[in-house]
Amino acid sequence: MDIDETKQELIKQAEQLPEDVREQFVTRVQEMSEQELQDFLKQLAQKQNSWQGECLFCSIANGKVSSFKVFENEKFSAVLDINPVSEGHILLVPKKHVESLEKLENKKEMLLIVEELSKKMKQELGVHDVAVLISSAGHLIIQLIPVYQDTVLQFSRKKIEKEKMEEIAGKLKCDVKIELKKERVESKKEIQREEETIEDKLEQAPRRIP
């Protein structure tokens, strides 16, 4: 391929770029000497290789690949899934490369974002319910899948024998003592507060003379 053909090929590949960027790019390519063109091609190849080595979801979360973004803050990005289970399927991705929920530092923030996005889906898309799926493709992904009225998510299901179910339940049984204790203490306090106020009111109320 001679230098002009290479330039034409490059310009063709730039068709997807936004117009103003493309114009600049085309001018730059046309003005390149043969040496400049070779250096540029080398750089391009290196960039492509390094992108291929990087985690796809790091690239998505940090805006290095184009996506349909619906939310972004310092720590998270949310984009539309390009192969949605249903219309409005969102992927919420931490910007930092985290493999699993266990290793995520901002779990509470994540839940608040899930809540907000779910609200928005219901308001704007008329979504009946939102199924939240925490998964990992090497990078933690929280999937928000809209469930529309009178539709069912297409997961294939099967019946399992009672004994097997009991065995599985036994294996998965767990306790979250710390959280439960906290809640109990708080609700006790509230009850006490209520009792006090009722007593206060009784004392303040004028006594009936029999």
Which chain residues interact with Zn ion by CB under 5 A? Answer: 55, 57-58, 97, 139
CB closer to Zn ion out of 102 and 161: 102
Kindly state the smallest distance separating residue 105's Cβ from Zn ion, in Å: 15
Q: Report helix, strand or coil for 132.
A: strand
Kindly state the smallest distance separating residue 9's Cβ from Zn ion, in Å: 32
CB closer to Zn ion out of 58 and 117: 58
Kindly state the smallest distance separating residue 122's Cβ from Zn ion, in Å: 30
Residue-wise over 105-124: b if at least 16 C-beta within 10 A, else e? ebeeebeebbeebbebbeee
CB closer to Zn ion out of 11 and 134: 134
From CA 193, how far away is CA 200, in angstroms rounded?
10
Kindly state the smallest distance separating residue 88's Cβ from Zn ion, in Å: 24
Q: Please, where are the H alpha helices in the chain?
A: 3-13, 19-31, 34-53, 56-61, 107-125, 162-172, 177-204
DSSP string spanning 143-166?
Answer: EEEEE-TT-----------HHHHH
CB closer to Zn ion out of 57 and 76: 57
